[in-house]
Structure 1
Amino acid sequence: MYKNSLISSTHSENTEKVNAKMTEAVMAALKAIHSAASPDSMEPEDLKRQRLGQEVLGRLVSPPIGFSWEPFTLDGMPMAWVRPERGHDRRRAILYCHGGGYTSGNLGYARVLAAKMAGATGCAVLVFQYRLAPEHPYPAALEDARAAWDYLMRQGWGARDILLAGDSAGGNLALELAMTLRDEDRFLPGRLILYSPWTDMTASGDSYESCRDLDPMLCADYIHAVRSAYAPNTDWSRPEFSPLFGDLRGLPPTLIQVGEREILLSDSLRLQEGLAQAGVPCVLECWKDLWHVFQMFPLKSASEAMEHVEHFLHQMG
């Protein structure tokens, strides 16, 4: 009995050491990628480097095997279905809004989280490459998200059988889409899944200061730059930019996952408070020692987070 306990303890310690080394390696890679670009500049050459860095990040954390990739276009907008090769749940689907500050991100970047969600939930995932700022500022991305939603409706999906997911700026977009559908008296998705959502473009949360030196991915200068590119010369506290300050009543049950070490931590904490006050069921998971959209990376915690998504989804019955 004692021997088995000792082996188990040793295995646990070794696993923790491996996870710690993996975390350190990923954080070093993240810092290297982001140091190659000027995060606070939207000049064409700097923006090109930022978008390239996003693509490199997608390749660095290449998606798992065991899924099909079926690209197509909708009125010129690149889209793709990601399906588990083992077969999938044909009753439900996931519409996924990728991140990138509204200024970068593409299908290659989106494929990583889409494949993980497909593998964890057994659902087909629809991804779309919305138009990017500054070339296409607000409301271009929201218009494209609505087009993707309408496509699903035309394909015969029931709104409540759709899980609407998004990371970072994609979390902002998912919230804005859900709020738009609600305001138009349309049926809403059955669940919202938000990974490190950007909910406050005014950057007024405490974590912008408290996590400033802890976040390996984001900085305040980057947030200021991309919000100006997306919605120049405007009041960023307006709900169409900062859903945190909007009417949250009537939104679907929501799962929020956020890292403890990111400057957007307050965006999630305050969103959970707002949803609770609005009477919306919400589960907030704050993951210790992790960073912005950590679910993308080859970490044990990322796998566990996807398992939580699967459990939350299948509460739909």
Structure 2
Amino acid sequence: MNDNKGGPMEKKKSSQAERKRLDPLMLALKALHSAGAPETMDPEELERQRRNQEILGRLAAPMVGMDWEEFSLDGMNAAWTRLKCPHGDRHVILYCHGGGYTSGNLGYSRVLSAKLANVTGYDVLSFEYRLAPEHPYPAAVEDALRAWDHLMLMGYGARDVVVAGDSAGGNLGLVLCHWLRSVGRRTPGALVLMSPWTDMTMSGESYRERAEIDPMLTVEYIEAVCTAYARGKDLRSPYLSPLFGQFEGFPPTLIQVGGHEILYSDSLRLRDAMEQAHVRCRLEVYEDMWHVFQMFPMKRAGAAMESVSRFLLER
């Protein structure tokens, strides 16, 4: 899918105006996607990133008409995002936040969890999985499984659950599905992936071809967080790079990606792998957009979220 409408000049002017308006927020988010050399992850810098993500999420989250209920899920921080008005409870979203597996928290989760709850009417469960480098792989996967099992114990069926994730959270959602299938358990009813990180080997062409136009991510950042999380393990393992797994039996999947992302290839190749496995998969490319643009307060982010709602209704 290509979402552009209008002539080239109109699109260019609109994009430039929107970028100018959003520059302060873009600068704040870009600062959170910074890291030193791959062999170093400064603890003080990581702590600063995590604190700033918490603040940014709490300030930017569209919480009007929403309830936010934090609780302890077997010692792990978690939260429910719900509409205040009456709504159905037959389906639920398990939301996995991004942050390169080295940052991200409940506060940061508020932005997309609120948007997901608003456009779908579903309750959204967010959780604060353990982060690298203090807690490398498989800590985050274990925590995602805890959150999944919590929903099962609440009485939801696997098909009632939509797993959604952005960036590293998209990676985590895919890994969760690979693991569930590998042990003979049922997989979610659907996957919603925003700018998913699917290939830790960085073998896609976009890592080189789009490095100059990506306003958010750098190859150096990807290398640094990958080193912190994977700790020398085989990066082609589907539990680190889910792109290289088998997708037979995976749920219907919506993938959204910006045209200016170095992770662009991760989404295209995931779509191709899923289609080869006969998985119903929809890829939406938003030209001139950047990494997880859905977080931003702008029309094209709203259009992307509305597309999530339509996708889930169609299934």
- How far apart are 1:314 and its partner, in Å? 1.2
Amino acid in the other structure paired with 1:25: R
Q: Is residue 24 from structure 1 mapped to residue 20 from structure 2 by the alignment?
A: yes
Contact 2:180–2:186, Cα closer than 8 Å, also in 1? yes
Rate the CA distance shift 1:86–1:285 in 2: closer, same or farther, 3 A.
Answer: same
Amino acid at match of 2:27: K
Tell me which moved more, 29-38 or 209-218: 29-38
- How many pairs are equivalent? 304
Alpha-carbon spacing, 1:49–1:272, altered in 2? closer, same or farther (3 Å): same
Question: 1:46: Cα distance to partner?
Answer: 1.9
Q: Return the letter of the residue paired with 1:167.
A: D
Q: 1:181 is aligned with what amino acid?
A: L
Tell whether the 8 Å contact from 2:15 to 2:288 is kept in structure 1 after alignment.
no
1:128 aligns to what?
127
Look up the match of 1:34: 30
TM superposition shift of 1:232: 0.8
Query: How far off is 1:238 after superposition?
Result: 1.5
Matches within 5 A, 1:106-121: 106-121=105-120
Match of 1:5 in 2: none
Partner of 2:243: 244
Question: Which residue is 1:292 aligned to?
Answer: 291
* 1:85-234 aligned within 5 A: 85-234=84-233
Spell out, residue by residue over 1:137-168, the C-alpha distance to the aligned partner (whole angstroms, 9 max, x if none): 11100000000000000000011011110100
Show CA shifts across 1:106-147 (max 9, x none): 001001000000000011000000000111111100000000
2-side partners of 1:52 and 1:180: how far apart? 31
Per the alignment, residue 308 of structure 2 pairs with 309
Once the two structures are TM-superposed, the CA of residue 27 in structure 1 deviates from its matched residue by 3.8
Gaps of 5+ in 1: 1-8
| C-alpha separation in 2, matches of 1:32 and 1:94 | 27
Cα 1:36–1:276 change in 2 (3 A) is closer
**Separation of aligned partners in 1, 2:260 and 2:12:** 19
Please say which of residues 46-55 and 30-39 is displaced more in the overlay.
Answer: 30-39
* Counterpart Cα distance in 1 of 2:283 and 2:139: 29
Specify whether residues 90 and 213 from structure 1 end up closer, same or farther in structure 2 by C-alpha distance, changes over 3 A only: same
The residue that corresponds to 1:6 in the other structure is: none
Q: Deviations over 1:62-105 (max 9, x none)?
A: 32411100110011100111011122221100000000000000
SS in 2 for 1:47: helix
C-alpha contact (below 8 Å) 2:53/2:107 kept by paired residues:
no
Mapped contact 2:192–2:308 kept (Cα < 8 A): yes
Structure-2-length-normalised TM-score: 0.91
One-letter code aligned to 2:292: V
> In structure 1, the residue corresponding to 2:248 is in which secondary structure?
coil
Counterpart of 1:90 in 2: which secondary structure? coil
Q: Distance in 2 between matches of 1:37 and 1:99?
A: 11
1:62 aligns with 2:64: no
Q: 1:236-287: CA deviations, max 9, x gaps?
A: 1111110101111111010000000111000000000000011111000000
> Residue type matched to 2:57 in 1?
G
Name the CA shift for 1:224/1:77 in 2 (closer, same or farther; >3 Å). same
Tell me the secondary structure at the aligned position of residue 81 of structure 1. Answer: strand
Say which is worse superposed, 127-136 or 29-38, in terms of deviation.
29-38
Structure 1 residue 315: Cα displacement:
1.9
Task: Answer whether contact 2:33 2:221 (CA < 8 A) is retained.
Answer: no
Q: Which residue of 1 aligns with 2:3?
A: none
Q: Deviations over 1:166-188 (max 9, x none)?
A: 10000000000011111111111
Aligned-pair CA distance for 1:38: 4.5
Counterpart for residue 256 of structure 1 = 255
User: 1:59: Cα distance to partner?
Assistant: 4.2
Amino acid in structure 2 at the alignment position of 1:222: Y
The whole-number CA distance in structure 2 between the counterparts of 1:35 and 1:255 is 28
Tell me the distance in 1 between the aligned counterparts of 2:89 and 2:221.
Answer: 40
CA distance in 2, matches of 1:36, 1:172: 19
Pair 73,53 (structure 1): closer, same or farther in 2 beyond 3 Å: same
The change in CA–CA distance for 1:296 and 1:29 in structure 2 (over 3 A counts) is closer
Aligned residue identity for 2:211: R
The 3-state SS of whatever aligns with 1:255 is: strand
Q: Percent identity?
A: 56
Give the alignment's Cα RMSD to 1 decimal: 2.0
Q: 1:315 to 1:33 in 2, by over 3 A?
A: closer
Name which structure has the greater RCO, CA cutoff 8 Å, separation 6+. Answer: 2
TM-score, reference length from structure 1 = 0.91
Distance 1:173 1:272 in 2: 17
